[in-house]
Structure 1
């Protein structure tokens, strides 16, 4: 299709739309369908006789739009984040989040060391395994109408806790990976630059909030959108120049603009761009994967999935019980936050930019694919899973739990 970039982009969007329709038809997260679609039509896909479905000429442009998808995803998460909300969540979410991260991060570090992978690769894998997909988890909660359940507050609190962890961890890891630092002094220096940039930007942004409010106080949606997107891309681009992940810059802009009076207007404008470019992000990730390279990643990915399922469940139950939730509610917590998605892929792309092991990309692709399918299924069948676990561990049956609740209320 040489010389027909627009036609190729149009076909790519049709493939993305078809993946969305399939996901809706099977009521499964759209993420695995988008990644698979990208792998099937990507530059590395096989040619079937005279039929060549590979998106070769347009792949760089689609991948650039995928980078914009990362910015919009992190920008939107920044808009949803609030330091005040985290403080009001209380001690239970802090303890639960710390417990959850310690268990999963420790398992994430142990696996690559057992495989003999270097330190920087181990840190990337630990991040991939530790961080849930906020997008998939939120969508599952809405689709299954579980937003009103008591344990949902803890689930959202854990997502919020992970958002903070991601901001700090991406700052530190981007300095380590992109700079290639190896000595403790270099690591400390890279972390100081990254964290200093993050904290400085937030403090300056809060100080300039009144001026930003006046700047955004324009009646034209067109001009309003141009101002917001200019701030987003300039800050993200600047953060990249000082070896801080561009995703961090996008997250910081969202955090600052969330404190303005124009939060709802910004959110209303950004959501369509988040969904459109976010879909292209996962699709472009699939384009970058060579299906023939997945062989070496199969066993590491399968082992990581099993370890994640066990670690996630244990961490969720422990965190839930410490917060005072029932065994059933704690089980729901452990099963609901299993999915992995955008953050795992961001870390894999960071590893690629830093020249780390090529195996990390196919490993992340298989890992995300499997958990993006398994996670929502586990959440949907959490009641059945709990009924089986209740027999094994002698936990209260669901009917007994309901009777106790009714007795306490009466």
Structure 2
């Protein structure tokens, strides 16, 4: 193939077809997007003249994937509010801290025990800690569990994870992308990134009235141009000062969420988020050499086991800390086990920083397995709890009261 537009058109058609298959099977689309990308990527096998690999368009699709990351984080910023987290109360803060502490510690220990260097250890811990907001939210809606007692805690933990992600990526990007090899230089770079984030949020919130006037445009065309310009300018500038461009996009979303135009931006940006988000997962699949996945099988399977155990224990502890029942608490751990977009963002950060090649196939297999297992565990959470309850006897049957003579 040497026709760029034709390749991109075929890519979009392939993404659409596997998306339809995923919808029919009622599965998350993320593993399907990654798998089809691997099947037609530059590293995929070909037989003679039967060459269906996307080679000439891979750079363009990769750039579209980068845009997908920006739109995903920007949209997340629009949905997120620091005020909401504060109002959610002590229980969510405690539950979120428990969840992050357990899963992050297990991720660090697992990577360290496997003999990885410090930077790779920190990156692998990030890959294994953050659950997929997109998959979790979709599963809750599909299974009609939005009114369940544990759902507020699930959404609260996701919000808490988003705060952790923003801070952690800023620190890690300073460490991985910094030109300075000294510890002092890395810490200075990380503090510089954190300072930029805090300053941007403070100034942005103070400038909300000015932004309201600036974005008070009737034409949707000009309105979107201004939003896109603001998004790409800040994201691009963030990258120049060693703050991940994804965090720059998140910051723009957080700032614009404080304006009166938040709903309008959210409505207009949603199709772009969905389209470029799909391209992001497809482009990640293109970057994976299927023949290297074998090297990461046992590493990925071990991480999956650690994640399943850590999530269940963390969910149980978080739920019980909020005085939820054992059944509702178990549902928390089984629901937020899926991994997806944020794990891939962390893996791409490692690639940009020139870290070990094994991180890409590891993240691909890890995400694929948990993106499939997560929705299944959530769907079957009732039966799983019954089996576990037989062993641990959390809900003991009530003894019948004797009637008075």
With the shorter chain as reference, the TM-score category is over 0.9
The equivalent of 1:314 in structure 2 is 313
The equivalent of 2:344 in structure 1 is 345
Would you say the 8 A contact 1:171–1:195 is kept in 2? yes
The equivalent of 1:276 in structure 2 is 275
Report the Cα offset of residue 187 of structure 1: 2.8
The equivalent of 1:54 in structure 2 is 53
Q: Any unmatched runs of 5+ in structure 1?
A: 401-410
Alpha-carbon distance in structure 2 between the residues aligned to 1:6 and 1:337: 39
Aligned ranges 1:254-333 → 2 under 5 Å: 254-333=253-332
Would you say the 8 A contact 2:99–2:315 is kept in 1? yes
The equivalent of 2:402 in structure 1 is none
- Identify the range of structure 1 (174-183 vs 158-167) with the bigger mean alpha-carbon deviation: 174-183
Alpha-carbon distance in structure 1 between the residues aligned to 2:375 and 2:204: 37
Report the Cα offset of residue 186 of structure 1: 2.2
Q: Return the TM-score normalized by structure 1.
A: 0.96
Cα separation, partners in 2 of 1:199 and 1:20, compared to 1, 3 Å = same
Between Structure 1 and Structure 2, how many residues are aligned?
399
Which digits, 9 at most, give the CA deviation of each residue in 1:231-258, with x for residues without a partner? 0000000001111100000000000000
Which digits, 9 at most, give the CA deviation of each residue in 1:85-114, with x for residues without a partner? 000111111111111111000100011111
Aligned ranges 1:117-266 → 2 under 5 Å: 117-179=116-178, 181-266=180-265
Would you say the 8 A contact 1:175–1:181 is kept in 2? no
Which digits, 9 at most, give the CA deviation of each residue in 1:184-241, with x for residues without a partner? 3223201111101100100111111111000111111111111111100000000011
Cα separation, partners in 2 of 1:117 and 1:180, compared to 1, 3 Å = farther
Alpha-carbon distance in structure 2 between the residues aligned to 1:291 and 1:266: 39
Which digits, 9 at most, give the CA deviation of each residue in 1:49-97, with x for residues without a partner? 3211100000100010000000000000000110110001111111111
Residue 113, structure 1, aligned to residue 112, structure 2 = yes
Q: Any unmatched runs of 5+ in structure 2?
A: 399-405
Would you say the 8 A contact 1:174–1:245 is kept in 2? yes
Runs of 4+ with >3 A deviation:
180-184
Alpha-carbon distance in structure 2 between the residues aligned to 1:351 and 1:198: 21
Report the Cα offset of residue 293 of structure 1: 1.0
Alpha-carbon distance in structure 2 between the residues aligned to 1:9 and 1:154: 41
Residue 101, structure 1, aligned to residue 105, structure 2 = no
The equivalent of 1:369 in structure 2 is 368
Report the Cα offset of residue 22 of structure 1: 1.1
